[in-house]
A and B are shown apart, each in its own frame.
Chain A
Amino acid sequence: MTRYIRHAIAFCALLLVALLVNAARVQVFQAGSYDDNPANRRPTIARYAQPRGDILVDGIAVTGSRDTGEQLRHERTYANGPLYAPVTGFASQEYGTTFLEHAEDGILSGTDPMLAPLPLWDDVSRARSQAGNVVTTIDRAAQEAAFRGLGRRKGAVAAVEPSTGRILALVSAPSYDPAELSGNGEPVKSAWARLNQDPEKPMLNRAVRQTYPPGSTFKVVTAAAALDSGVVEDLDAPTDSPDPYTLPGTRTRLTNESDDCVDASVRAAFEWSCNTVFAKLGVDVGVEAMTTMAQSFGFNDTSLRIPFSVAQSTFDTQVDRAQLALSSIGQYNTRATPLQMAMVAAAVANGGQLREPYLVDRTVRRGGETVTTTGSRPLHQVMNPATAVRMRELMTDAVKEGTGANAAIRGATVGGKTGTAQHGIGNAGTPYAWFVSWAQGDHDLEPEVAVAVVVEDAAADRGDISGGGDAAPIAKAVMRAVLGL
């Protein structure tokens, strides 16, 4: 019998080995595929197990975390949700993340390897690093001024610091409270459905994700191209342009809102926003030079990240002369985000040099030590410094004496350009009111702020809608907030 007992022992040893080998298979060799299975809730539970890092504006958190005690424990809160929604985006347990919450998720959720002080040991002990914070470049006063300025109107504001590219304000209206989407369950689902079905599109980030025809504000680009390419040498020389201007190769006659545009000088045409003059200038400069100038301002660029992506602003490169004429006054296929137009103003203000805009100043650990800094972004020479000087002159004149008078600030030099962009089938839609500007305080060494404002549906009669009337006061409020005037 002893022999057979030994056989039974061997059999049991076989079973033991089978169990051990299978356990190693499940726990080691196939563990990765089980861990990554989308039905496995552990990564989600771990993600919400600790408070999410905060997004800081002027050193103060505009986000927070709430301990719900549920399986997904911590939920995002927002101190002033609608104001900062275009910056923060939302962080939902149900619908993922957007904007900074998405772009900086690694830092905010604590998974970024840079956060781990002892990476190898943490892997062994399975310690999850504390979430880090994201310090933004946003200027609280500017952001609030822009939000207040837009009020109940639909539109967007983008403001940047010309010398660095720091984004000082990013506002979209109407906005929404991202806190509504933070948790999970029925209230979040219904809020999501409501926000998505809302015809006003409150979740659309108009400052960076919506493009508009820039209208007359694009004349800044056209003027810069004309000056840089030598088509215009003297700002005060007559330009030999008719009014109305017949688009080349067609019978369409282009007219102006204002008089005195026949043969007007570039300076006068810029002040009074003569379509005829700039349409002809664009044609004279030619498609190649126009395209080069528009693209150095950032048009047709799909790679810009601030750190989240920005919608592509477009300048059509396949155009005939009539289309080029329209393109040059910001119509036809020319479209720009408010941020793009703020970059245009910033390049002029900064002596022709454009800094790529960015929204995150640095990321820090809970304790305050810096993890990463954005540092200075690439510098790009858009136009000759001499051209920039003359562009500043044009824009300053437009505010001093022309259409942009509403943006003038006592104690500061302000340069600006209004725009009123037609859109819709047969231009039937309510025009968009634009204003792009920059400002330099009298005691500052360089321009401190460049702003672009677009108001979609200024609730007024069509004749009254203008960049100068609707958009310029908002830009002024933002510039004053930045300058502290």
Chain B
Amino acid sequence: MTKAGTTVAAARTTAPAVRLPRRRGIELALIVLAVLLSVYGYCAVGLAKAGTVPPGALGYGAGLGVLALLAHVAVRVRAPYADPLPLPIGVLLNGLGLVLIYRLDLETPGARAAPAQLVWSTLGVGLFIVVVLALRDHRILQRYAYVCVVAALALLTLPILFPAVNGARIWIRVAGFSIQPGEFAKLLLAVFFAAYLAANRSALAYAGRRVWFVQLPTGRVLGPIVTIWLISVGVLVLERDLGTSLLFFGLFVVLLYVATGRTGWIAVGLLLAVLGAVAVGWLEPHVHSRFQDWLHPFATIDAGLGPNQLAQSLFAFAAGGVLGAGLGLGHSVLIGFAAKSDFILATAGEELGLAGLSAIFLLYGLLVERGYRAGLALRDPFGRLLAVGLASILALQVFVIAGGVTGLIPLTGMAMPFLAQGGSSVVTNWAMVALLIRVSDSARSQYDGQVAP
């Protein structure tokens, strides 16, 4: 395994003739399209609300364009073989998120969020450029696995020291900024999981007893798993953040399965998850009420208390129909609190309709698929697990939050990647795309003619 680098180098030298096209031109064209779509959305909001093109349209478009172009240049310089899709998808989703937040700002003139989000997006793209330029090879990260896990645990436990906000203890407030450290922790944990599993996958896969048709792992390797499970339950109990703990645990189970191929892990994981969820749902009123809201979204209406957030969210989606009300013409602001963050998707659903919502889901799906595709093409286990982990984080997060606001699963407070208001989230997502670019560059430049990335 440690020889992975050398074998790759050998492959690169032996088969230079089958190198894949770089496709940077396609990336540039798609970025221009993404920027134009965002500017168009921005103008559509202004035309619908005020009847004129908003005054900052040109500046907004230029700013977004310059940011995207800088990112593109960084990719061109340091990751010339990278997949051409992740960057334009990131730009489009981020631009669309800005449009939606700007649109909701018009309904809440007292609490503008778009300017701050623009600053955070700039920081995010900055981090993207830094990661692409500085991280020459993703395998360097493997060396810092234990640094990563310590940092992640520190970040996770930090908010416990700060007061709870809206029932969840996931924010820290520094000099007027609120930061969600859990967002950064998920990337660090993905790196750690990938490194740990890459090193221990054989022990995990082939030891242990077979009970029925399930291959159980031995106690020695079970330890770390149980530790992670305890941590995620701890996060849930102490910070009352169902979404994040679900994400961590889901990520770990997926990576464990991919690393070992043991269905037993899935069985164990599901069992532990169910146990944890039931116990916490029973003990924690906050989580319990979320579960009740999911089962009976209209209970508060029947009780004469008016619609709750989930009911308002469902009303917003329903009002969108197939084609949507049009940007700026919906009333998703009725959702009230968290309309710009957790419930941002309801605005997209109402104003862009099922058509727009499906397009957004498919964009996420495409991004996830590109991640897995890079994982398939890579030869080193760490890189594969890292790519799978990053893609899985995105997939799980989108599913948990989108399923929550559409009433598919109980609602958990999480940020829709790129779309939702939230600085920590958007910065983390750009770092994630940077890592995807990095691994896909490795995958595509090492192409050996077997699995097309």
Contact = CB atoms under 8 A, between A and B. Distances in A.
Interface of A: 1-9, 11-13, 15-16, 18-20, 22-24, 26-28, 30-32, 34-35, 37-42, 45, 124, 126
A28 B364 CA distance: 22
B318 A35 contact: yes
20 contacts: A1-B384, A5-B258, A5-B376, A7-B257, A8-B257, A8-B388, A9-B369, A12-B392, A23-B349, A24-B354, A26-B317, A26-B318, A26-B349, A34-B317, A34-B318, A34-B319, A38-B301, A39-B301, A40-B307, A42-B315
Contacts of A20: 358, 361
B54 interface: no
A285 to B, nearest CB: 59
A19 B261 contact: no
Nearest to B392: A8
A34 B314 contact: yes
A124 B301 contact: no
A12 B408 contact: no
Nearest to A2: B376
Contact of A16 (B320, B322, B323, B365): B365
Contacts of A16: 361-362, 364-365, 395
A413 B165 CA distance: 84
Given A12-B395, A31-B317, 7 more contacts: A5-B258, A5-B376, A9-B369, A9-B372, A23-B317, A23-B357, A37-B311
Interface size classification for chain B: 35 or more
B392 A27 contact: no
A126 to B, nearest CB: 6
A28 B321 contact: yes
Interface in B286-318: 298, 301, 306-307, 311, 314-315, 317-318
A124 B323 contact: yes
A129 to B, nearest CB: 16
A95 to B, nearest CB: 19
A27 B311 contact: no
A8 B315 contact: no
A41 B320 CA distance: 14
A41 B334 contact: yes
A16 B451 CA distance: 24
Contact of B372 (A5, A18, A31, A45): A5
Nearest to B368: A12
B315 A1 contact: no
B325 A34 contact: no
A38 B298 CA distance: 11
Nearest to A31: B318
A8 B258 contact: yes
A26 B406 contact: yes
B135 interface: no
Nearest to A13: B365
B8 to A, nearest CB: 16
Contacts of B257: 4, 7-8
A26 B407 contact: yes
Interface string B8-38: 0000000000000000000000000000000
A204 to B, nearest CB: 31
A5 B375 contact: yes
Given A19-B402, A42-B331, A28 B315 contact: no
Nearest to B345: A23
Given A3-B261, A5-B375, A22 B403 contact: yes
A27 B405 CA distance: 13
A23 B321 CA distance: 10
A15 B399 CA distance: 7
A16 B325 CA distance: 24
Determine chain A's interface SS by DSSP, over half rule.
helix
B372 A37 contact: no
Contacts of B396: 15
Contacts of B258: 1, 4-5, 7-8
B156 interface: no
Contact of A34 (B315, B368, B375): B315
B88 interface: no
B126 interface: no
Nearest to B313: A26
A39 B325 CA distance: 19
B259 interface: yes
Given A1-B381, A7-B257, A39 B307 contact: yes
A40 B403 contact: no
Interface string B366-409: 00110010011000010010001001100110110011001110
Contacts of B408: 18-19, 22
B73 interface: no
Nearest to B400: A15
Nearest to B333: A71
B353 interface: yes
B254 interface: yes
B326 interface: yes
Contact of B354 (A23, A38, A41): A23
Nearest to B198: A1
A1 B261 contact: yes
B331 A41 contact: yes
A23 B395 contact: no
Contacts of B334: 41-42
B395 A126 contact: no
Nearest to B257: A4
A30 B298 CA distance: 14
B320 A27 contact: yes
Nearest to B318: A34
A26 B402 CA distance: 12
Nearest to B306: A39
A42 B315 CA distance: 9
A4 B329 CA distance: 45
Of listed B301, B318, B396, B398, residue having the most chain A CB within 10 A: B318
Nearest to A124: B323
Contacts of A13: 365
Contacts of A3: 261
Contacts of A27: 317-318, 320-322, 349, 353-354, 357
A126 B306 CA distance: 27
Contact of B361 (A5, A23, A28): A23
Nearest to A15: B399
Contacts of A4: 257-259, 261
Contacts of A12: 365, 368-369, 372, 391-392, 395
Nearest to A40: B315
Contacts of B392: 8, 12
A126 B376 contact: no
Nearest to B261: A4
Interface string B245-274: 000000000100111010000000000000
B406 A23 contact: yes
A30 B326 contact: no
Contacts of A15: 395-396, 399
Contacts of A39: 298, 301, 306-307, 311, 315
B406 A19 contact: yes
- Residue among B261, B323, B354, B391 with the highest chain A CB neighbour number at 10 A: B354
Interface string B330-347: 010010000000000000
B322 A28 contact: yes
B349 A37 contact: no
Contacts of B319: 31, 34-35, 40, 42
A168 to B, nearest CB: 43
A9 B376 CA distance: 10
A19 B323 CA distance: 17
Contacts of B320: 27
Nearest to B326: A126
Given A27-B322, A39-B301, A40-B307, A19 B259 contact: no
A19 B318 contact: no
Contact of B403 (A11, A18, A38, A124): A18
B23 to A, nearest CB: 22
A10 to B, nearest CB: 10
